[in-house]
Amino acid sequence: MVTQSHVVLNITLLSKRDKPFLHVYAFIGAVLPDLPMFIFFAIETFILKTPQRELWETRYFMEAWQTFFDLFNAVPLILILLGIGYYLLNSERIVVLAWSLLLHCGFDFVTHHDDGHHHLFPLSDYVFESPISYWDRDHHAGIVAPIERLLMLIASVYLFRRLKTRIARWALIAINVLFLGSYLLFFLR
């Protein structure tokens, strides 16, 4: 799934009407697993000037980059964080952050075919190859992508009413506009 979907779905699933401050932790947990990808893209594209084809066909799959990605998508490490937040610190903020990280990993687990993560890192090198992909047309992205967009729009309508500030509502609208634009550019061209 794309990062915007993770953000909207995670906040929708983890938010509490009486505790809007938890939105921030759901947001961080939704974005954090993709952060290494943005760093990878920025370094390879703007600093190293790697051509896009080489970037996605070769550099993305280099062991060093994969390990960097896996650190932020490692379910065993996230479960440790969840345990610390729940049992040791009794912190609702850390618990929401950890659940958001787990939701992100779960959604990625079922929507990545040949570009998945080592979700059991550092315990295992196993990578699940889902039969579906959110972006690869050879693995049903023509069906998965519109479903993802529809789920995000439904979640956005629900979430819009729960957001307390104008800036949060405008941010949600902007996310949806950018998300729909990316869909139109990528899938309908």
Report which of 158, 170, 172, 162 is spatially closest to residue 21, judged by C-alpha positions: 162
Could you give the CA distance from residue 15 to residue 17 in angstroms, rounded to a whole number? 7
Write down the residue that tokens 């959604």 correspond to.
107
Q: Once rounded to an integer, what is the mean pLDDT over residues 61-68?
A: 95
Check residue 17 and give its pLDDT.
80
d(CA 89, CA 109): 29
Domain residues for the domain of 134 are 3-183
Mean model confidence pLDDT for the chain? 94
Residue 189 falls inside a structural domain: no
**pLDDT tens string 89-116:** 999 999 999 999 999 999 999 999 989 9
Residue 114 domain flag? yes
Return the percentage of the chain with pLDDT > 70, whole number.
98
Residue 117 lies in a domain: yes
Going by C-alpha positions, the residue among 82, 96, 124, 100 that lies closest to residue 33 is: 100
Q: What is the pLDDT of residue 23?
A: 93
Q: Residue 189 pLDDT more than 90?
A: no
Instruction: Confirm whether 68 is domain-assigned.
Output: yes
Q: Is the pLDDT of residue 188 over 70?
A: no
State the Cα–Cα distance between residues 159 and 146, nearest whole angstrom: 20
pLDDT in tens, 32-46: 999 999 999 999 999
Residue at 142 is within a domain: yes
Does residue 28 belong to any structural domain of this protein? Answer: yes
* Structural domain count, the chain: 1
SS3 call for 180: helix
Cis peptide before 33 (omega within 30 of 0): no
Flag whether 171 is in a domain. Answer: yes
Contact by Cβ (8 Å): 142, 135: no
Q: What is the pLDDT of residue 155?
A: 97
At 187 the pLDDT is 66
Query: Is 188 within a domain?
Result: no
d(CA 119, CA 173): 32
132 pLDDT above the threshold of 80: yes
